[in-house]
Homo-oligomer: A and B are copies of this chain.
Amino acid sequence: MAVIVQKFGGTSVGSVERIKAVAQTVAHWQARGNDIVVVVSAMSGETNRLTDLAHQISSQPDSRELDVLLSTGEQVTIALLSMALQAMGKPARSYTGSQVRILTDSAHNKARIREIDDARIRADLAQGRIVVVAGFQGVDEHGNITTLGRGGSDTTAVALAAALGADECQIFTDVDGVYTTDPRVVPEARKLDRLTYEEMLEMASLGAKVLQIRSVEFASKYNVPLRVLSSFAPGEGTLIVSEDAVLEQAKISGIAFNRDEAKLTVVGVPDQPGVAHRILGPIGQANIEVDMIIQNVGSDGLTDFTFTVHRNDFCKAYAILEKVAQELGAQEVSGDEHIVKISLVGVGMRSHAGIASAMFEALANEGINIRMISTSEIKISVVVDEKYLELGVRTLHSAFGLEKTDT
């Protein structure tokens, strides 16, 4: 009998009707002969409601007490889902993070899981019960309630799947799987049956926000097969597994893109050791995350240093750079808020030469000027003017034949 951990997010359990629908889905998978552990988030809106209450009390609520408060959100859901399963005649039992016991460190609001005691869950499964676990929360060694921070329920599900040696960890979302690219941009985008963890990480971090990065990393580390599927529509979704579980890999799995990028260049920096650090140090200190970084070979002892940041941080970063440029004796700072990043992702590109040139050729044929290029083992990213986003993505989707079924 297979053990499956299923995770339903806030939207999937956002009302009494939806909780009943989740109970139907869970019962369906159990009826197929599986042992089921369900991980749920707070009902959508609930976490915001509780956070609002806290902020009405205090502008800086204590992190320990915030965890006590927020953890009630999932606790409500586990009780209601267990009741819904029981009302269908399915034995079920709920557990808070503390009851399981999901032991975490003491970093309130962003705790990390250290250890999971699976004894109670295994005992319940052995008795034919469906086990319903509160996501996003745990308990530290002193018995304090902790929360795992953003994406925490996914992490709970993957960690439970790893602890139980589950056959699959299913993440139910509002999409029916992972697509070759965003179907709103390319209507021909195709749902992928399989994908590797590495590809999923590149797709996720590049803007295809189906899964939390942390949970994919976690699944990869413990080799837990992840399946992304829809709460609202039937289907097998997309399975995310290790590379050796994907028999024949397509060259390119998908095209990710990011509309939120902005580009900054320090022009005419003296080409000396330590320059990159002197530029990026103050940016990091200002809590600005940097994405792509490019420095080309210089001439005349000068070089240009370019990087991209989230568009929201553009003005802040610009101001910092103007000061840094003066200190470094650089010529000037230039920037562009109207750029986007488009990336080809695929583990197959490692063993196939010529992907990059095919990509650049396809873009050139459409008159799209490439402003920056950055590559890694399984992806090639280009920065282009904002206005070329849709054209660029569609062009590449077609050039690499992604609308066709897997071969």
Q: Which residue of B lies closest to A16 (CB)?
A: B56
Does A69 lie within 8 Å of B80, measured CB to CB?
yes
B84 lies within 8 A of A76 (CB): no
Of all chain B residues, the one with the shortest Cβ separation from A64 is B93
Contact residue among B57, B84, B94, B99 (Cβ-Cβ distance under 8 Å from A57) = B84
Report if A99-B143 is in contact (Cβ < 8 Å); known contacts: A19-B57, A56-B16: yes
Chain A residues numbered 20-72 whose CB sits less than 8 Å from any CB in chain B: 20, 50, 53-54, 56-58, 61-62, 64-66, 68-69, 71-72
Chain B residue with the shortest CB-CB distance to A71: B75
> Across the interface, which residues of B come within 8 angstroms of A54, CB to CB?
79-80, 83
Whole-angstrom CA separation of A19 from B57 in the bound complex: 8
Query: In the complex the two chains form, what is the Cα distance from A53 to B79 in whole Å?
Result: 10
Q: Give A346-405 interface residues, CB cut-off 8 Å to B.
A: none
With an 8 A cutoff between CB atoms, is A82 at the interface? yes
Assembly CA distance A62 to B79 (angstroms): 9
Q: A53-B76, A72-B72 are in contact. Are A83 and B65 (CB under 8 A)?
A: yes
Contact: B76 with A50, CB < 8 Å?
yes
Q: How far is the CB of A406 from chain B (nearest CB, A)?
A: 41
The answer to whether A96 has its CB under 8 Å from any CB of chain B is yes
- Closest Cβ of chain B to A167, distance in Å, is 27
Residues in B neighbouring A286, C-beta threshold 8 A: none
Judge whether A216 is part of the interface by a CB distance below 8 angstroms: no
Question: Which chain B residue lies CB-closest to A93?
Answer: B64
A61: B residues at CB distance < 8 A: 83, 86
Cβ–Cβ contact A53 & B16, under 8 A: yes
Are A68 and B79 within 8 A (Cβ)? yes
Report how far A68 CA is from B75 CA in the complex, Å: 7
A-B contacts, 28 of them at CB < 8 A, read: A19-B57, A20-B57, A50-B76, A54-B80, A57-B80, A57-B83, A57-B87, A58-B83, A58-B86, A62-B86, A64-B93, A65-B80, A65-B82, A66-B79, A66-B83, A68-B78, A68-B79, A68-B94, A68-B96, A69-B75, A69-B79, A69-B80, A71-B75, A72-B75, A72-B76, A96-B145, A99-B144, A99-B145
